[in-house]
Each structure stands twice: as structure tokens, then as C-alpha cells.
Amino acid sequence: MSFDLDRAWRLDDQVSLRPETFGALAYHFGNRRLTFLKTRKLLDVVESLESEPTGRAACLEAGVSEQELPAYAAALARLAEAGMIGERA
């Protein structure tokens, strides 16, 4: 599964995020899927997707290091697969 970090992404309108000490819970009211974001940093990435030009920029903005980037790209890929985030037109 790959994730294009150089495209523009956004959180789906039907997703609600609830911050938790471990990261966050994400719930999609349309497909009724519940997902756990296991770090606060991933929550920061997801929240900044909309305002950043690319997925990579959102990661950097949230303080994701080069070494961490592949793991975050994989997490974003799973979020995209679950319909939580989608490409911005």
C-alpha cells in the first residue's frame, strides 16, 4: 500500500476526531468505522492536511522526522483506505 505524500489531502467531512492521551479516536459517521490514531503527532498531521499543500508538508509541519516519514505515510495510507482522509481536488 503506498501513499502519495506529494498530493493534497483533507479529512473527510463526515469524520469526527476526539483527542486522547495516546493520540486520538476517529469516527466516520458515513461508513461507521472507528479508528485509533496512536500518536498525538499523527493527530497533528491529520488536522493540518487541509491547510498544507501536500501530505509531506503536513507531516513536516507536525514535526515528523525523515526517519519517521515512511511509518507516517503508511498510517496515512490506512486512513485513506478507511475513507477517513481523501485527496483534495
Q: What is the contact surface with another protein in residues (CB under 8 A)? A: 14, 16, 18, 20-22, 25, 27, 29-30, 32-39, 42, 68, 71-72, 74-75, 78-79, 82
Between 81 and 87, CB nearer to another protein: 81
Cell for 49? 492536511
Largest CA distance in the chain: 34
CB of 60 to another protein, least distance (A): 15
CB of 75 to another protein, least distance (A): 4
Q: 19 near 36, Cβ under 8 Å? A: no
Between 2 and 21, CB nearer to another protein: 21
**16: closest CA among 33, 3, 2, 1?**
33
CB of 61 to another protein, least distance (A): 16
Please list the residues that pair with 16 across neighbouring strands.
Answer: 27
